[in-house]
A and B are shown apart, each in its own frame.
Chain A
């Protein structure tokens, strides 16, 4: 949720522990090695190097404006989804819960 677009492509040598993959990492046959969203560890770097991976997409941090836009976007979408039921106290609780969950990292 908190990354913008497809991330940025960098050389495996420049990847540092703690970054996150923006897209699936696949080998030359298209077989998925690591799913998008995985946090990079030392062990993963070794394994990817062994598989002959040279470059990967990592998550680019979001700017403040992008965060704001993303928050707005989530809020609007949820407002619409809950439009028929938000007068219901139970559904208002659920709405708050989901909104908080969807925006907590933004």
Chain B
């Protein structure tokens, strides 16, 4: 039974705060062809928690310089302005969505997002996509789940229960109980926060990628299927089912299974390593 209208979803999204002015300014500064690091640092210090989290991420073993980075400026130099831009975007989006941890296994959602991010990053170059950009898209692809759980806790709990009882996919359960799925909610959020168009599409269309005809959407769709198949971020008991890989996407990607099979050990290893990242 459909319980919520799209207008209600829009209303809840419009009530959300915009990304903080500091974040907006940092993203703008990092987008310049030549980055003014002094200005960047002056802005960043106004949001110390953000700086702390950027440092924590920059020092995670995933980026290979564990424990060496002590200042925001070093993080900029080591990560590079493009990576840093992605990291700040991911952290601030996650921060703005506060979710009831009881409803969604947040750690599981997070492990899944990190696995998708790592897999997408690894496969990005063969699709001529910037690996850092693919990583961010993977991190953020399920923000719609967080939003739905935060806005509509009751109906969302019913959607989850429906999924468990009927054994259907989460997306189908969402559509049945809420009238829309987490992709749509996520895309609306991405647009509200003026995230880049590709990113909004990857978030919005990763479960219905066919007519988006967008390389990043295709990559995230595939990485999502693979992360599910490798069982990243799914409760042992509850058993979320693997979503179907769309044939149109598979054809557009132009890979073959032998190649993916050969890559599985490294994709699996990187997905596991990414799980250690704490934002």
Contacts and interface: CB of A to CB of B under 8 A. Distances in A.
A97 B242 contact: no
Interface stretch (A9-17, A60-68, A84-92): A84-92
Contacts of B244: 84-85, 88, 90-91
A88 B247 CA distance: 10
Contact of A81 (B242, B265, B268): B242
B185 interface: no
A29 interface: no
Contacts of A82: 229, 241-242
Contacts of B229: 81-82, 94-95, 98
A94 B169 contact: no
B242 A91 contact: yes
B22 to A, nearest CB: 34
A84 B257 contact: no
A2 to B, nearest CB: 14
Nearest to B276: A35
Contacts of B257: 93-94, 97
Contacts of B261: 97, 100-101
Nearest to B240: A81
Please classify how large the interface on chain B is, using the bins under 10, 10 to 19, 20 to 34, 35 or more: 20 to 34
B231 A91 contact: no
B225 interface: yes
Is the contact region of chain A dominated by helix, strand, or loop, or is it mixed?
Answer: helix
Contacts of A88: 244-245
Contacts of A81: 228-229, 231, 234, 239-242
A85 B243 contact: yes
Nearest to B230: A98
Contact of A90 (B240, B247, B268): B247
B252 to A, nearest CB: 13
B30 to A, nearest CB: 33
A52 B256 CA distance: 50
Interface in B54-90: none
A8 interface: no
Contacts of B241: 80-85
Nearest to B261: A97
Contacts of B106: none
A83 B260 CA distance: 22
Nearest to B228: A81
Contacts of A91: 242, 244-245
Given A91-B244, A97-B257, 15 more contacts: A77-B239, A81-B229, A81-B241, A84-B167, A84-B168, A84-B244, A85-B242, A88-B244, A90-B244, A90-B247, A91-B242, A95-B229, A97-B264, A101-B265, A101-B268
Interface of B: 167-169, 225-226, 228-231, 234, 239-245, 247, 250, 257, 260-261, 264-265, 268
20 contacts: A81-B234, A81-B240, A81-B241, A82-B242, A83-B167, A84-B167, A85-B244, A88-B244, A90-B244, A90-B247, A91-B244, A91-B245, A94-B225, A94-B226, A97-B257, A97-B264, A98-B264, A101-B264, A101-B265, A101-B268
